[in-house]
Amino acid sequence: MKIYAKTEAGQIAFKTRSGAIPARLRSVFILFDGKKALSEVLEVGTALGVTITDIYDLIAAGMLAPVGDGDSEAAMLQDTLPGELVPLISADSEHAPLRADSNLTESERYARAMPIATRITSELGLRGFRLNLAVESAMGYDDLVTLLPKIKAAAGDTKVRPLERALGLR
């Protein structure tokens, strides 16, 4: 269960309406209290048109940070994973800042690839709506690999390269 809370920078941006938090995300931003699970916030956010990509953008901008339980190093690593994915969120080019790591497990590859796949399909607009839903419901590495040809057909080879690399296929 991943839990996030507002950072100090996030709280300041929210209070000053600086533009770092888009107006359409303000209602959802309030829900990140350090107690609600990401899935709970997304449940509410989906009704408001907010996607996981929007949340990753807030994390990348430093507006949200993971809250760890402190009980186990593994749990902390799990909770901080999206923060480590920040360079992947904006990875559009063939030279995206991905670490070459051939020793990653399928679940680690899935965690790296999921925000990329979500971003790619959400950028397709209405023509990619169903594909975006399929990506967001992907439950693991194999599901993303199965969807890869459809994503490639819809978005093109160049946009899909970072996703292929994150999945360990390139």
How far is Cα 145 from Cα 147, in angstroms, rounded to an integer? 5
Whether 58 contacts 25, CB under 8 Å: yes
For 89-105, how does the pLDDT look when each residue is reduced to its tens digit (9 = 90+)?
334 333 334 444 567 78
Can you state the angle between helices 157-166 and 106-122, rounded to 10 degrees?
160
How far is Cα 78 from Cα 82, in angstroms, rounded to an integer? 8
Whether 50 contacts 39, CB under 8 Å: no
For 25-67, how does the pLDDT look when each residue is reduced to its tens digit (9 = 90+)?
888 999 999 998 888 888 888 878 888 888 888 888 888 988 8
For 106-140, how does the pLDDT look when each residue is reduced to its tens digit (9 = 90+)?
888 888 888 888 888 888 888 888 998 898 888 88
Only one residue has tokens 């901008």, namely: 61
